[in-house]
């Protein structure tokens, strides 16, 4: 199939990614100035959610409406996918009716299989392996607050999970160094690490990872689907809580990001999101703008000028 998909940051060139996040900032400014911009009139996005979501659902749904189109929320409970219709069949049918499909699922292979049989762009709204849309928002947020991330140092603290894997890909695509501090046994996927080579360093000590870093970020200790590991993880991850004192080890103008939802008192201290170095609310808002840029790029590329 010839459609362009966004299953990973590696589906775009570094130039396209920078252009997407710049465009996100432009679309944000249009919206703030009250300018109507509806390049996706009559276009429909299908959104398949096999896991819970607040930000991803809202940002895609609101984004499509703001661009003049519409979005349809599909839960497996209410579609034949939940009753065993093969993914390939669902992809063939859905992609004849929709202009793009966003999927939040467990196995990343579900996304790959859907995309292989889809006539229209497929977007990864989070899988067990990756969360590339969140990285668009994160990179847009860094750019808006601090300028280019090229050559900077980023510290990932905690679980080597889907977000961490996407940071590993971002390090390659946006050209920064990444230090991952995680407990033994919770390292990121070795295939992602191998592809990143010496751009990524895995450490045990969070202070070592944060020392001199320009961006610090973390995520929940147990991701969706790992609910029965929570007690064990909480014991092991305690030394990986990010607090103000840890951020003090970074550069003075460090930025702290959290993809949210946050568990205050677990991966971050109670007060961290109130610290002036934390910009998680801007980051969450940028999901909307960055994904509008992505939708425009995939569905109506003629309008994408950034």
Binding-site residues from annotation for carbamoyl phosphate: 53-56, 80, 104, 131-134, 259-260, 287
Q: Cite the annotated binding site by residue number.
A: 53-56, 80, 104, 131-134, 162, 219, 223-224, 259-260, 287
Residue 152: CB atoms within 10 Å: 19
CB 106 within 8 A of CB 225: yes
Binding partner of residue 54 among ligand CP, ligand NVA, none, CB cut-off 5 to 8 Å per kind: ligand CP
Is 119 among the residues known to form the active site? Answer: no
Q: In what order do the strands lie in the sheet with 100-104?
A: 70-74, 44-49, 100-104, 122-124
Question: Which one from 5, 23, 43, 104 is the annotated catalytic residue?
Answer: 104
User: 66 or 161: whose CB is closer to ligand NVA?
Assistant: 161
Binding mask 51-80 for ligand CP (x = CB under 6 A): --xxxx------------------------
Both structure tokens of 267: 């991966």
**Binding residues for ligand NVA restricted to 191-220, rule: CB under 6 A:** 219-220
Q: How many residues bind ligand NVA (CB under 6 A)?
A: 9
Q: Which stretch binds ligand CP (CB under 6 A): 49-57, 76-84, 147-155, 203-211?
A: 49-57
- The continuous run of DSSP H or E covering 85 comes out as none
Binding partner of residue 162 among ligand NVA, ligand CP, none, CB cut-off 5 to 8 Å per kind: ligand NVA
118 touches ligand NVA (CB under 6 A): no
Nearest 5°: the CA angle 217, 168, 49 is 80
Give the list of residues 6+ apart from residue 154 with CB closer than 8 angstroms, or none: 167, 171, 176, 177, 178, 179, 213, 214, 215, 216, 217
CB of 53 to ligand CP, least distance (A): 3
Nearest to 245 by CA among 279, 271, 280: 271
Is 104 among the residues known to form the active site? Answer: yes
| Residues with a known catalytic role | 104, 131, 134, 219, 259, 287
């Amino acid at each position: 199939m010839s459609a362009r998909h966004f299953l990973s940051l590696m589906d775009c060139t570094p130039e396209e990614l920078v252009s997407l996040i710049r465009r996100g900032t432009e679309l944000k400014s249009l919206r703030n100035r009250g300018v109507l911009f509806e390049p996706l009139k009559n276009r429909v996005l299908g959104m398949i959610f096999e896991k819970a979501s607040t930000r991803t659902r809202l940002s895609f749904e609101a984004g499509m409406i703001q661009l003049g189109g519409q979005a349809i929320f599909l839960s497996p409970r209410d579609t034949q996918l939940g009753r065993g219709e093969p993914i390939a069949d669902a992809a063939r049918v859905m992609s004849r009716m929709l202009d793009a499909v966003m999927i939040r699922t467990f196995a990343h292979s579900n996304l790959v299989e859907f995309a292989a049989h889809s006539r229209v762009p497929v977007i990864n709204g989070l899988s067990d392996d990756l969360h590339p849309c969140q990285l668009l928002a994160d990179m847009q947020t860094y750019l808006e607050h601090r300028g280019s991330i090229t050559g900077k140092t980023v510290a990932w603290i905690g679980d080597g999970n889907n977000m961490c894997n996407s940071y590993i890909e971002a390090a390659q695509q946006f050209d920064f160094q990444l230090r991952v501090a995680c407990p033994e046994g919770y390292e990121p996927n070795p295939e992602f690490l191998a592809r990143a080579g010496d751009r990524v360093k895995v450490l045990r000590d969070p202070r070592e990872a944060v020392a001199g870093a320009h961006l610090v970020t973390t995520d929940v200790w147990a991701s969706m689907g790992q609910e029965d590991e929570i007690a064990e993880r909480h014991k092991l991850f305690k030394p990986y809580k990010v607090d103000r004192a840890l951020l003090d080890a970074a550069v003075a103008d460090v930025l702290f990001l959290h993809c949210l939802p946050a568990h205050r008192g677990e991966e971050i201290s109670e007060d961290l999101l109130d610290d002036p170095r934390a910009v998680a609310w801007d980051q969450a808002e940028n999901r909307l703008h960055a994904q509008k840029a992505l939708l425009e790029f995939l569905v109506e590329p003629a309008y994408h000028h950034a």
